[in-house]
Amino acid sequence: MNVLTISGITKHYGAITALKNVSFSVPEGSVYGILGPNGSGKTTLLGIVTDALRPSAGTYKFFDGSKPVNEIRKDMGVLLETPNFYPYLSAYQNLDIVAKIKGCDTAEIPDVLKKVNLFYRQRSSFKTYSLGMKQRLGIAATLLGNPKIVILDEPTNGLDPEGISEIRQLIKQLAKEGKTVILASHLLDEVEKVCTHVAILKKGELLTAGDISGALSKEEQTPTTVPKSKEKAMIEVVAGDLENLAGVLKTLTGVLDITVDEDVITIVHYTDELTPQQVNKHCFDNGIVLNRLIAKNKNLESKFLELTK
Amino acid sequence: MLHLLSIEFLKLQRNRSFLILTLLFVISIFGINYIILEIVKNIYINDKITFSNVWEFVPYATSYLLVIPGFIMIMHTCSEYTYRTHRQNVIDGLSRNQYVTTKILFIIILALFSTIATIITTLITGISLGIDISFESFRYIYYFFVQATTYISFAFLFALLFKKTGLTIGLFFVYSLIIENILEKYINQIHIGIDKIGEFLPLSSSEHLLMPDTIQTVMKIANIGNANSEYAYLIMSIIYIGLCYLTCYYRYEKQDL
């Protein structure tokens, strides 16, 4: 069953079109990543499904659409863009307001504060919090009332490395509990590590959507000579003289396409027979000693860059 | 309804500006009436003032202080825009209508509070003058409540329209103190069967409603006295309050938060 179905959503801000006819659906129990560069419309899309923004066209529904949307929002934890709280109230008092709106037990407040390591500061007013602590409180608020759906918009904003890894654990934990998580991010690493599904937006247009392996292979324009198993792999090589190295690599049979960056050469496409050992030997035979040779998975990042180019 | 109000009071529980302004408002009500009392004492001989006069005068004088609850309402509404909690409340599960209803309930509580403070001040004033208590002309207290509700409601509408505290305060006070009075003067010159139709502008209606006979005698010199019946002002004021709330609901329903 789909938790959320988005159909043909368009949003204009004056002359700017922030979303163009976006449609996809989020299956129950998935961790759905919404990816896109800055300004691609991720927050606008989440703002629309949480009723903060009005779509110019299109509709959305939660489950079968029979329950009033604001009742569904009470059973949803949402952190949209920035954590919004009353600055002069303490963490506890702020969560008290959220709990009252959601109609959940205030006895849960200490528990969610402990989950994000803010319990010791629960009596301090929100304005005294650091950026990371504010973000943690925002995440605590999304956990109130044990929601079925959690929507997190850039949840690791302003967090330290420890905080980022805690959020990752938290998302995995939520998924394990059977909750549906919708995660918007421009941090591909974040999405890749936790998501089961992904939708990629660029300038308001949906480029691809679906489960992570499917969405990534769709529209893949690799030469047919490259077998499926190698589709996601690439080899990075670095040597003292990159120009020379590029010339030598082109002469190696099996290499189909390379990209030359400032400090690294990547063999993007190559035939099945080519192995990293062969690359190494070929270079050495041609008088080049490699500083680095890495066989890498063609990850979400390269796919993302390719799609949003 | 009580649930919505309890959320509103949780928001204000430690809001220092709100608490201080409310306190200042109460002090000002006592203050302005004390000053007037001192002046009146010297003009009139005590036995000429009846309790009925006090019920007329105190609400009228106090109505000039309604700028303070108007200011409180603007500050409270605009600060929610500043903190973006107006959108967070909706995201967390309030419907947009509930959000506006909460604010309207708060307006009524604020108007009731002002009215009760006025009743207490009237009683204290009358008693300190040594007059026997009577409730003749108590209707001016109801009229005061209507004016307070109108004034604070329009302050809320301005806040919803303009969102920024400074801008809203500027526009609302310029409108209520200057623009509407000028408009009233010009519209009064239009003759369509009703005398002084400019008196029926949104804020003017309730101002005229609260204008006691004794004040009108003075005001007639400046051609400001009431030309229409109390009931006409009352009905218009209630219509305006209704229209104001409808606009607020409509505006909040359509707005991007």
Same structural domain, A240 and A203:
no
- Name the domain boundary from A162, A187, A217: A217
CB contact under 8 A, A93 and B254: no
Phi and psi at B241, nearest 5°, equal -60, -45
Note whether residue A175 is domain-resident.
yes
Same structural domain, A79 and A115:
yes
Note whether residue A261 is domain-resident.
yes
Domain map (residue ranges) of chain B: 2-254
Residues B139-195: tens digit of each pLDDT = 999 999 999 999 999 999 999 999 999 999 999 999 998 999 899 888 888 877 777
As for how many domains chain A has, the answer is 2
Residues of B in contact with A74 (CB under 8 A): 92-93
CB contact under 8 A, B95 and A93: no
Mutate to test the interface with A, among B13, B87, B88 (most CBs of A within 10 A): B88
Note whether residue A250 is domain-resident.
yes
Residues A125-158: tens digit of each pLDDT = 999 998 888 999 999 999 998 999 999 998 888 7
- pLDDT value of residue A299: 64
Which of A52, A100, A125 lies nearest to residue B91, judging by beta carbons? A52
- Name the domain boundary from A196, A217, A238: A217
Q: Which H or E run contains A11?
A: strand A2-13
Which of A54, A70, A100 lies nearest to residue B7, judging by beta carbons? A100
Same structural domain, A140 and A279:
no
Confidence of residue A230 (pLDDT cuts 50, 70, 90): very low
**Considering only alpha carbons, which residue of chain B is nearest residue A75?**
B93
CB contact under 8 A, A52 and B14: no
Q: Is the per-residue pLDDT at B196 higher than 70?
A: yes
Q: Is the per-residue pLDDT at A226 higher than 80?
A: no
CB contact under 8 A, A53 and B254: no
Same structural domain, A20 and A123:
yes
- pLDDT value of residue A217: 59
Which of B10, B14, B87 lies nearest to residue A100, judging by beta carbons? B10
Q: What CATH number does residue A258 fall under?
A: 3.30.70.980
- pLDDT value of residue A229: 42
Same structural domain, A26 and A116:
yes
Q: Is the per-residue pLDDT at B220 higher than 80?
A: no
Mutate to test the interface with B, among A12, A13, A43, A51 (most CBs of B within 10 A): A51
Residue B45 burial (CB count, 10 A): 7
Which of A54, A73, A96 lies nearest to residue B254, judging by beta carbons? A54
Q: Is the per-residue pLDDT at A221 higher than 50?
A: no
How far is B176 from chain A, CA to nearest CA, in Å? 30
CB contact under 8 A, B83 and A85: yes
Q: Mean pLDDT throughout B70-83?
A: 94
Same structural domain, A256 and A112:
no
- pLDDT value of residue B44: 66
Mean pLDDT of chain A: 84
Same structural domain, A204 and A245:
no
Query: Do residues A122 and A98 make contact, with C-beta atoms less than 8 angstroms apart?
Result: no
Residue A60 burial (CB count, 10 A): 20
Q: Is the per-residue pLDDT at A220 higher than 70?
A: no
Beta-carbon pairs below 8 A across chains A and B: 78
Mean pLDDT of chain B: 89
Percent of chain A with pLDDT over 90: 32
CA B164 – CA A178 distance, rounded (Å)? 42
**A53-57, A124-128, B5-9, B213-217: lowest mean pLDDT where?**
B213-217
Q: What CATH number does residue A65 fall under?
A: 3.40.50.300
Three-class DSSP category at B13: coil
Same structural domain, A163 and A186:
yes
β-bridge partners, A233: A297
Mutate to test the interface with B, among A49, A88, A137 (most CBs of B within 10 A): A88
- pLDDT value of residue A297: 60
- Name the domain boundary from A198, A217, A236: A217
CB contact under 8 A, A93 and B89: no
Torsion, CA B168, CA B174, CA B179, CA B180, rounded to 10: 70
CB contact under 8 A, A71 and B91: no
- pLDDT value of residue B84: 93
Residues B96-115: tens digit of each pLDDT = 999 999 999 999 999 999 99
CB contact under 8 A, B92 and A68: no
Which of A78, A93, A141 lies nearest to residue B10, judging by beta carbons? A93
Using alpha carbons, select from B64, B4, B2, B10 the residue that is nearest to residue B32: B64
CB contact under 8 A, A51 and B90: yes
Using alpha carbons, select from A214, A73, A308, A113 the residue that is nearest to residue B87: A73
Q: Mean pLDDT throughout A81-107?
A: 93
Residue B146 burial (CB count, 10 A): 21
Residues of A in contact with B14 (CB under 8 A): 88-89, 93, 125
**A166-175, A206-215, B218-227: lowest mean pLDDT where?**
B218-227
Residues of A in contact with B7 (CB under 8 A): 97, 100-101
CB contact under 8 A, B90 and A85: no
Residue A182 neighbours by CB under 8 Å, 6+ apart: A4, A26, A32, A34, A46, A149, A150, A151, A152
Note whether residue A247 is domain-resident.
yes
- pLDDT value of residue B160: 94
Which of B10, B95, B256 lies nearest to residue A54, judging by beta carbons? B256
Same structural domain, A87 and A199:
yes
Note whether residue A118 is domain-resident.
yes
CB contact under 8 A, B95 and A53: no
Same structural domain, A236 and A203:
no
Residues B124-136: tens digit of each pLDDT = 988 888 888 888 8
In order of A74, A104, B90, B95, the CA distances from A69 in angstroms are 9, 17, 11, 8
Q: Is the per-residue pLDDT at B61 higher than 50?
A: yes
- pLDDT value of residue B192: 78
Note whether residue A82 is domain-resident.
yes
In order of A236, B43, B55, B226, the CA distances from B229 in angstroms are 89, 30, 19, 8
Confidence of residue A192 (pLDDT cuts 50, 70, 90): confident
Which of A53, A80, A101 lies nearest to residue B89, judging by beta carbons? A101
CB contact under 8 A, B14 and A88: yes
Note whether residue A223 is domain-resident.
no
Q: Is the per-residue pLDDT at B222 higher than 80?
A: no
How far is B166 from chain A, CA to nearest CA, in Å? 19
Mutate to test the interface with A, among B20, B92, B250 (most CBs of A within 10 A): B92
- pLDDT value of residue B198: 83
Give the ipTM: 0.88
Question: Domain range for residue A265?
Answer: 228-308
CB contact under 8 A, B13 and A89: yes
**Burial bucket for residue B71 (CB in 10 Å: 0-12, 13-18, 19+):** buried
Q: Is the per-residue pLDDT at B85 higher than 70?
A: yes
Which of A82, A89, A101 lies nearest to residue B7, judging by beta carbons? A101
Residues of B in contact with A182 (CB under 8 A): none
Residues A58-77: tens digit of each pLDDT = 999 998 888 888 888 989 99
Same structural domain, A116 and A255:
no
Structure letter (DSSP) for residue A256:
E
**A179-183, A252-256, B86-90, B125-129: lowest mean pLDDT where?**
A252-256
CB contact under 8 A, A141 and B92: yes
Mutate to test the interface with A, among B6, B17, B91 (most CBs of A within 10 A): B91
Q: Is the per-residue pLDDT at A303 higher than 50?
A: yes
Q: Is the per-residue pLDDT at B15 higher than 70?
A: yes
Same structural domain, A130 and A243:
no
Which of B7, B14, B94 lies nearest to residue A89, judging by beta carbons? B14
Q: Is the per-residue pLDDT at A308 higher than 60?
A: yes
Q: Is the per-residue pLDDT at A50 higher than 70?
A: yes
